[in-house]
Chain A
Amino acid sequence: MVLGGGVAGTAAALAASRGGASVTLVDGGTGASTLSTGAIDDVPWTEAARPLAALTPGARSLLDALAAYAVPDAGARVATTAGVVRSARGHDLALLDLGPLVGRRVGVVACDRPEWDGAALARAWGSDFASLEATLLRHVDERLLPAADFAARHDDPARLAWLAERLREALDGAAGSRFEALLLPPSLGVERERARDLSARVGLPCGEVAALPGGPSGLRFERARDRALAAARVERTLGRAASVLRGGERWRVLLEDGRALEASAVVLAAGGLIGGGLAYTPGDAAEASVLPPAARAPFALTLDVPAAALGAHGRPLEIPGSLFGTPPESLAWPFATDALLERVGVLVDAEGRAAPDLYAAGELVADAARTWLRALESGLRAGSAAAREGLTRAAERSPSAPLAPASRA
């Protein structure tokens, strides 16, 4: 059983399923993966060193299953709405990879939407970029529509064809300046990326910039995940887990709506602070007029898993010497570097194991770099190990039963 439907949980479920386990994924809703911007990293991009680390074959095959991302060997370059062109290990296929376009003229398509001042962004991104006046909005409401809703309109093939015509017109109108690619605001589809179709129709590479959190890229991840999990016949349950407790040989997972599920192995992938798997728990946060009820470690899992220990820097969290909690100045950037807020999580071994048959993956893992590809790889490791261990246990429990699933592992 996998708790969490983000990148880590999806990778764990796919890996466990490939390992021969029958998998249920419990999805509690939006988290950091749904808020992702479309640039994918293995290490934070400002710390990326050359040569880039190669993808593991396992990660490569999971990305193939998702069929929504490109991770070129040479890495990628994407533009952000903060006015930065940054390196990335890979990108959502809807994003324009500027890596191969260095020194070529990229048109920044003007669009009357709040997050988008094409001319200012073109100046900020550098001399390769120039603004291109074009019509992107077809209806007046699109000026203020959230980016993801606007992008969804281009899932309609007729609308995409209309957009391609407008872009062709704009290019013809700007015949003096030869553009070799077009950069658009986050707008190119939600069901699937429509950048390839658009590029084919326009005759130039077209793609998006990295979005603000809550843009279409996060939704495209969810669609890609849904397709991949369905193809792998992973069972899905909507709901939030409340507790994961030992029930004899198996784990009992209690959901908040009262349902109880059982599994031989559990992967915790409910996200970190952003996703809601972890909570910051200062002693004085409860509604109280007198003393806070108890001194508590500054962070806690939001679901009750007695078998998992929280920690950071390789050691468990401690209860602070104050009922009011640890001073936040010592927990978080910019006061503290390498701060607990960014490192806290479930303590695990090299395979992602927090306890026998209990794994953690993604942002819930202590001391892990909180990047998209790390989440994928930790999910992959935990899912594979959970399948292996879970099937072995199942076989031990019923030695006479046929070993068909285990032989697949």
Chain B
Amino acid sequence: MAIAEEPLPYGADELDVAILGGGVNGTGVARDLALRGLRVVLFERNDLAFGASGNSSGMIHGGVRYLSVAPHVTEQSCRDSGYIQSIAPHLLFRLPFLMPVKSSRQARVMFELIDAYFRAYDDYQPLKRGKPHTRLDPGELARLEPGLRGSIVGGITFDEWGIDGARLCVLNALDAILHGGRVHVHATVETIARVPGADPRGPGARYVVEARDRRTQERLRVRTRAVVNATGAWSPITAATGGLPQSRVRVRPGKGIHVVLDRRVTNYGIVSESIDGRQIFIYPWQNVSIVGTTDDDYYGDLDEVHATSEEVRYLVQGVARVFPAVRAARAIGTYAGVRPSLYAYGPNEDALSREHAVIDHAADGAPGIYSMIGGKLASYRIFAQELSDLVAAREFDSTTPCSTHARPLPGGESVPDAIALAERYAVTPVAARRLVYRHGGVAPRVLERALRRPVERHVVCPCEPVLEAEVRHVVREEMACTVDDVARRTRLGLGACGGMRCAARCGQIVAEERGLSPGQGLTLAKEFLLRQARTRIVAMGPEQARQEALALAHARASMGEP
């Protein structure tokens, strides 16, 4: 580990914990520690939820797959799912799944086994307010989901919760800020060095963390007693930054992609099997349907993860076995992320553990530095609690208990009635409904903006829809710096028109709010359109091709090459 040689400039901040990574683990820890009264700072290289957290399946599931091998994991997952539902009730939506059983020689036995398996899962469902499973005959299945095809002997239902993972990260970060924390986005940590002369066993700051704002090139510098590496698949890179052995925080990066369809094409989530026997899904999620997911070892650039048409076809083929209409459905895009699974050489990707581990770097001669490895969206809170318990007790002698399961996330205190809001603030009810989904109890505060400036009632993105007031709110209050960031927080531009109608306007608003020039705003819009076009083309079908031709022609006509 390097020693910071230059003396610290006067006024350099001294805080308790620096957290690296703005995914769900990093923001979860930041919130947890901030609620315990510790002074935290979080650095995120890209945007909050840029990596795996914002590109997951968008579910808070109960860990049904661990039921046979580690029932305690299932119990813990279900309990935590219940906690998340109670702290952010607006952000979760019920997602019932159907699991059809295809006829085969062992179909009867399979059906009984699956039924028994989910009967066992039912024991844990009350922990997350889930409904018990039901057993369906082929006729009932066909009535519930008329698009199911093939010879099916029956099926079962099971209940899960859907969530917007990006919003979950943002809410955790916001709550950390509300409790005195600091969050820097688009700031990449370049060095973690020892404070010269600091006694590793004594109290006070031990590490200097230096980051660079990637947009302004401004250098940020803090001194902290503890450092938490929560950078997911980036973890080995982060460790190397601090002079720690990368092998200690090795992950096995697994790329997972999802295909987004233009509408809710099924009534329920449907479980299907891919050509190599993996479980894949199609499910309605917010205003769209999602097909997922793949799991393949990844060696590429973590800042540029994209789906390929190969992966899209693999998924579509797998779902088409039970739901053939998926081939004719209109895919409007894809997204891709990289799971930071615990490292193992040998097992195939699906057999890797989704469990998590805390690495204490005291063993590497760096006491006070911890890495969070593995984990999944659904278990972020308990993982953050485990790490925070350790850091609080060991580094700060703090006995303040964790309260992240009991205190609501911002907006989760109470969920207002969208229709009443629509009337009171004279906005379209659909937009109000979406706004309440994303912001819960904060929605009225967003709409107050529109009372002060009536133009902010206008819908900027008609597909989602997103009001101008919300765009300004997320730039001002939720750290959005680019059109991409706004899209991550509001789903602006991620609908059927591909940003054709909203990107330029959103760029103008972001520029205005952040004091950028209009030209810079246009550049942000172009960057967004270019990035999104890459994610759409790989899943392009006949109807989408028309839309692509129109969107490109329009972008060229109105702003030049995006």
Give the B-binding residues of A (Cβ under 8 A): 32, 35, 37, 39, 41, 44-46, 80-84, 86, 112-115, 117, 120-121, 123-124, 210, 212-213, 272-274, 276, 279-282, 284-289, 324, 327-329, 331-335, 341-342, 370
Contacts and interface: CB of A to CB of B under 8 A. Distances in A.
A225 B175 CA distance: 60
B550 A280 contact: no
Secondary structure class of chain A's binding surface, majority of residues: loop
A322 to B, nearest CB: 9
* Most chain A beta-carbon contacts within 10 A, residue among B322, B533, B548: B548
A324 B541 contact: no
A213 B552 CA distance: 12
Contact of B545 (A32, A83, A213, A341): A341
A334 B556 contact: no
B560 A46 contact: yes
B548 A341 contact: yes
A123 to B, nearest CB: 5
A121 B310 CA distance: 42
Nearest to B526: A82
A282 B533 contact: no
B327 A287 contact: yes
Nearest to A38: B557
A71 B434 CA distance: 46
B542 A289 contact: no
Contacts of A328: 309, 537-540
Nearest to B555: A82
Secondary structure class of chain B's binding surface, majority of residues: helix
A273 B327 contact: no
Given A280-B540, A287-B324, 13 more contacts: A46-B556, A46-B560, A81-B558, A83-B508, A83-B521, A113-B458, A114-B462, A123-B518, A212-B554, A213-B500, A280-B546, A289-B322, A341-B548
A114 B548 contact: no
A284 B509 CA distance: 41
B320 A288 contact: yes
Contacts of A114: 458-460, 462
B279 interface: no
Contacts of A117: 455, 505, 508
A273 B549 contact: yes
A282 B537 CA distance: 13
Contact of A84 (B309, B321, B534, B560): B560
B149 interface: yes
Contacts of B545: 273, 279-280, 332, 341
Nearest to A213: B554
Top 9 A-B pairs, shortest CB-CB distance: A280-B545, A124-B518, A82-B504, A273-B549, A82-B559, A80-B558, A82-B558, A114-B458, A289-B324
B1 interface: no
Contacts of A37: 554, 557-558
A44 B330 CA distance: 29
B522 interface: yes
A333 B552 contact: yes
A273 B546 contact: yes
A332 B459 CA distance: 30
B392 interface: no
Contacts of B537: 328-329, 331-335
A46 B558 CA distance: 11
Contacts of A279: 542, 545
16 contacts: A39-B557, A120-B508, A213-B550, A276-B546, A279-B542, A282-B540, A284-B313, A285-B328, A286-B328, A287-B327, A289-B321, A328-B539, A332-B545, A333-B537, A341-B545, A341-B548
Contacts of A331: 537, 540
Contacts of A44: 556
B523 to A, nearest CB: 11
Nearest to B326: A287
Nearest to A363: B549
Interface of B: 149-150, 308-310, 313, 316-317, 320-322, 324-325, 327-328, 454-455, 458-460, 462, 500-501, 504-505, 507-509, 512, 518-519, 521-522, 525, 530, 533-534, 537-542, 545-546, 548-550, 552-554, 556-561
Contacts of A39: 557
A274 B553 contact: yes
B149 A289 contact: yes
Contacts of B560: 45-46, 84, 86
Contact of B541 (A41, A123, A276, A280): A280
A334 B557 contact: no
Contact of A210 (B310, B522, B557): B557
Nearest to B545: A280
Contacts of B504: 81-83
Contacts of B327: 284-288
Contacts of A286: 327-328
A35 B149 CA distance: 39
B180 to A, nearest CB: 35
Contacts of B559: 80, 82-84
A81 B460 CA distance: 13
B316 A332 contact: no
B316 to A, nearest CB: 7
B455 A46 contact: no
Contacts of A45: 557, 560
B470 to A, nearest CB: 14
B538 A329 contact: yes
A210 B559 CA distance: 11
Contacts of B539: 328
* Most chain B beta-carbon contacts within 10 A, residue among A32, A112, A289, A341: A289
A328 B309 CA distance: 7
A177 to B, nearest CB: 20
A24 B455 CA distance: 48
B270 to A, nearest CB: 13
A118 to B, nearest CB: 10
A114 B428 CA distance: 13
Contacts of A35: 550
A289 to B, nearest CB: 4
A324 B313 contact: yes
Contact of B542 (A32, A272, A285): A285
A112 B462 CA distance: 16
Contacts of A213: 500, 550, 554
Contacts of A288: 320, 324, 327
Contacts of B317: 284
A342 B557 CA distance: 15
B512 to A, nearest CB: 6
Given A32-B553, A282-B541, A287-B327, A82 B522 contact: yes
B309 A332 contact: no
A287 B322 CA distance: 12
